């Protein structure tokens, strides 16, 4: 269950609720938000109904909601309104379809600036690009690290696009957060729990990518780590999972989009580039992602894919990307109609 304390509830009232929860056999996890304190009660206490009634009657308590899922704070049961993460004037999870685009790796100033200008012109909202690269082989390009972050800053200054880039370890969170508007957790790090906990100590928006062998439950529990550690500004990215199929790099689990829409209030974007591994498949999977109701897309773009240091085969050329943005227009128009018709109440967060 989740207990929302009243605005201005005292520490004594909070402690009292935590003690009562323990008496009923629950573990209490208070989260001190900017406005109010919310307490997550985890475990299978014995008399759940009695416990809920008793806690509801305790001083300082506003409401008590039963949550059946193991992920409490990210669950829709606890909050019906979708979270909207505000970045550079855009709302991820709101009534605008957000497109992230850019190279897999930041390779050089000219490569990044050329790509940034092209994707900006084509209508992307956020520039992506890896400076710290999690590569399967130790012999592959590992990223320009801080020099890459500086180039991302330059590209932001040049285009006005907010920047999303990966952080691979807890010790690098402060450094990457100095340059990035959005901190990306890559698929390989989805269960790097120290990193997740450390990301809870910043308020910078975090894009959590689904681990390639992770279930939806594991995915949401990883998001729960960040939120319970103190950072509610989290959104999810479906990037394909590993199946027996080898024709595509991964299998895009598009059903994850409506499943996550049911289970969580966190926004969800789709990465058709890593999901398919093939440039030719990116447009169809992008259209399908819009139709499935995703909140946005992340697409890899490179000015010269044959010479890319990483993920060339799945990278669109700038002209392909501009064409894709044009093709997506009618789909996004319909998406907007559906969004507005749904009139989902949204909780807007200013990160």
- Chain residues in the site for Mn ion (CB under 5 A): 104, 311
Instruction: Find the radius of gyration of the CA atoms of the chain.
Output: 21
Q: Is 317 helix (H, G, I), strand (E, B) or coil?
A: coil
Which residues have C-beta within 8 Å of that of residue 319, sequence separation ≥ 6? Answer: none
Report yes or no: 152 and 118 within 8 Å, Cβ to Cβ: no
Residue 256 binds which of Mn ion, ligand PEP, none (CB < 5-8 A, kind-dependent): none
Options 17-25, 143-151, 185-193, 254-262: segment touching ligand PEP (CB under 6 A) = 185-193
Options 34-42, 146-154, 183-191, 324-332: segment touching ligand PEP (CB under 6 A) = 183-191
If we measure between CA atoms, which residue out of 177, 151, 311 comes closest to residue 239? 311
Q: How far is the CB of 274 from ligand PEP (least distance, A)?
A: 4
Options 53-61, 181-189, 241-249, 333-341: segment touching ligand PEP (CB under 6 A) = 181-189
Q: Which two tokens stand for residue 227?
A: 């939120």
Q: How far is the CB of 291 from ligand PEP (least distance, A)?
A: 22
CB closer to ligand PEP, 198 vs 209: 209
Q: Which of 41, 55, 119, 187 forms a contact with ligand PEP (CB under 6 A)? A: 187
Judged by CB under 6 A, does residue 274 bind ligand PEP? yes
Options 19-27, 180-188, 241-249, 340-348: segment touching ligand PEP (CB under 6 A) = 180-188
Q: Which two tokens stand for residue 274?
A: 């890593």
Angle between helices 48-56 and 11-23 (to 10 degrees): 160
Phi, psi of 46 (to 5 degrees): -70, -65
Residue nearest to ligand PEP (CB): 186
Residue 265 binds which of ligand PEP, Mn ion, none (CB < 5-8 A, kind-dependent): none
In whole angstroms, give the CA distance from residue 103 to residue 312: 9
Report yes or no: 17 and 61 within 8 Å, Cβ to Cβ: yes
Judged by CB under 6 A, does residue 249 bind ligand PEP? no
């Amino acid at each position: 269950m989740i207990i929302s304390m009243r605005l201005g509830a005292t520490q004594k009232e909070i402690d009292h609720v935590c003690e009562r929860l323990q008496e009923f056999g629950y573990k209490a996890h208070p989260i001190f938000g900017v406005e109010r304190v919310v307490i997550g009660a985890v475990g299978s206490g014995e008399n759940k109904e009695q416990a809920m009634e008793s806690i509801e009657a305790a001083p300082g308590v506003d409401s008590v909601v039963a949550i059946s899922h193991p992920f409490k704070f990210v669950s829709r049961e606890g909050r019906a309104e979708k979270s909207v993460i505000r970045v550079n004037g855009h709302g991820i999870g709101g009534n605008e379809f957000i497109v992230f685009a850019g190279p897999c790796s930041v390779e050089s100033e000219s490569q990044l600036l050329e790509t940034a200008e092209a994707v900006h012109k084509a209508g992307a909202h956020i520039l992506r690009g890896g400076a710290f690269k999690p590569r399967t082989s130790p012999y592959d390009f590992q990223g320009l690290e801080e020099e890459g972050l500086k180039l991302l800053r330059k590209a932001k200054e040049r285009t006005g696009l907010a920047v999303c880039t990966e952080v691979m370890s807890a010790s690098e969170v402060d450094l990457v957060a100095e340059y990035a508007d959005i901190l990306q957790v890559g698929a390989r790090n989805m269960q790097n729990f120290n990193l997740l906990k450390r990301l809870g100590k910043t308020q910078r928006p975090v894009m959590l990518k689904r681990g390639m062998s992770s279930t939806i439950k594991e995915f949401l529990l990883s998001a729960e780590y960040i939120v319970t550690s103190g950072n509610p500004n989290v959104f999810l990215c479906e990037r394909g999972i590993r199946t027996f199929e080898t024709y595509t790099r991964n299998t895009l689990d598009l059903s994850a989009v409506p499943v996550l829409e049911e289970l969580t209030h966190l926004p969800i974007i789709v990465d058709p580039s890593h999901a398919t591994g093939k440039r030719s498949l990116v447009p169809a999977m992008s259209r399908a992602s819009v139709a499935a109701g995703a909140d946005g897309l992340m697409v890899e773009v490179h000015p010269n894919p044959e010479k890319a240091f990483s993920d060339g085969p799945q990278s669109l050329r700038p002209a392909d990307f501009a064409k894709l943005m044009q093709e997506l227009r009618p789909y996004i128009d319909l998406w907007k109609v559906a969004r507005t018709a749904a009139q989902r109440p949204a909780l807007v967060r200013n990160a």
